[in-house]
Amino acid sequence: MKRVLLTIAYDGTDYHGWQVQPNGITVQEVLQKGLCELLGTKTGATGCSRTDSGVHAKQFCCHVDCDDNIPEDAFIRGLSAKLPSDIAVIDCKTVASDFHARYNALGKTYVYNILNSKIKDPFLERYYWRIERELDIDKMNEFCGKIVGKHDFYAFSSSGRTVEDTVRTVKECFVTKRDNKVKLQITADGFLYNMVRIIVGTAVAVSDGKIDPNDTEKILAEKKRENAGITAPAKGLFLEKVIY
C-alpha cells in the first residue's frame, strides 16, 4: 500500500464544494468514482480543505492510499480519462505513509476576481463578481494591510464554521487592478468558513465608503459578523496554491 499526493484543478460551478454530501454532487464524489474505475476498488481521497459550493481551484491537493504499480505519469493520464472536463489531474507523486494533505499544509493562497465594468462579459461571467461602480483600490489595500498578521477572524467567518479556534495568521493580502479586472490575493496559515469571501465583501464596503478602514481593528476585536461586509459570491474565488 502506498500513499500518493494528487494535485487537481477544477471549475466548481456545477459542484456543491469538495466534500461528499447528501444534497448535491461534489468534486470528492466524482474524483473517488474515477479512482474506483481506474483502480478497480473503492478508494477514498482526503482533501487539503473544504471549498464552498461554486468555488474553483487551480491547485487542490488530496492524498490517496492505493495498492498498484501504475507509474505516476500513467496514473495522471488514466485518472484524467475517467473524469469530466471540469476536473483535471495535474500532478501525482508518492509521499510518506504518514503524510496528510490537510494537516501537513503550511498555508494556502486564494485569489478573488472582480470584473469592474458596467458591461457584462459572457466569457468571464462564471469566474468574476461583476461590480459596475468604480472601485477604490487604494482604500481596499489600506483595509487589506490592516488584516495582515495574527488575528481572531471570528467576525470574518459565517455561522457554518466547524472549528472553535478562529485565530489565523494572514501572511499577505493585497489588491491589484489591470484594465477592468480587480484581483484580491490572500495567503494565510488557514482559513475559516467563508473567510475570504467576507474579507472581499468588506474590502468592497471600504471602497464604497460604508466601512472605514480604521475600524478594522474594532471589527476584529468585537467579533460581530454584522460589522463586516457582505459575503462575496462564490464564483469569483479560486484556491490558487497549497503550501507544504
- Domain locations along the chain: 2-95, 107-243
Q: What is the pLDDT of residue 68?
A: 80
Which stretches within the chain are classed as H helix? 27-39, 72-81, 137-147, 195-207, 216-222
Q: What is the pLDDT of residue 135?
A: 98
Topology match between the domains 2-95 and 107-243: yes
Q: Confidence class of residue 51 from pLDDT cuts 50, 70 and 90?
A: confident
Placement of cell 466547524 in the chain: 162
| CATH number of the 2-95 domain | 3.30.70.580
Using one digit for the tens of pLDDT, what is the confidence trace for 30-41? 999 999 999 999
| Measured distance CA(45)–CA(65) in Å, rounded | 8
Say if residue 188's pLDDT is above 80: yes
φ and ψ at residue 45, rounded to 5 degrees: -130, 120
Question: Is 136 designated active site?
Answer: no
Using one digit for the tens of pLDDT, what is the confidence trace for 65-121? 998 888 889 999 999 999 999 999 999 999 999 999 999 999 999 999 999 999 999
Q: What is the pLDDT of residue 22?
A: 87
Within 8 A by CB and 6+ apart from 100, the residues are 46, 63
Say if residue 147's pLDDT is above 80: yes
Whether the CB-CB separation of 114 and 181 falls below 8 Å is answered with: yes
Q: What is the pLDDT of residue 5?
A: 96
The architecture (CATH level 2) of 107-243 comes to 2-Layer Sandwich (3.30)
CA atoms within 13 A on the CB side of 191: 25
The separation between CA 24 and the C-alpha centre of its own chain, rounded to angstroms, equals 19
50-53: list long-range contacts, CB under 8 Å, 24+ apart.
50/17, 50/18, 50/19, 50/193, 51/12, 51/17, 51/18, 51/27, 51/239, 52/17, 52/193, 52/194, 52/197, 52/234, 52/237, 53/12, 53/15, 53/16, 53/17, 53/24, 53/234
Whether the CB-CB separation of 90 and 9 falls below 8 Å is answered with: yes
- Per the prediction, the chain carries an average pLDDT of 95
> Residues 11, 52, 136, 165: which is the catalytic one?
52
Say if residue 28's pLDDT is above 80: yes
Say if residue 157's pLDDT is above 80: yes
Query: How does strand 107-116 pair with strand 129-131?
Result: parallel
pTM beyond 0.85: yes
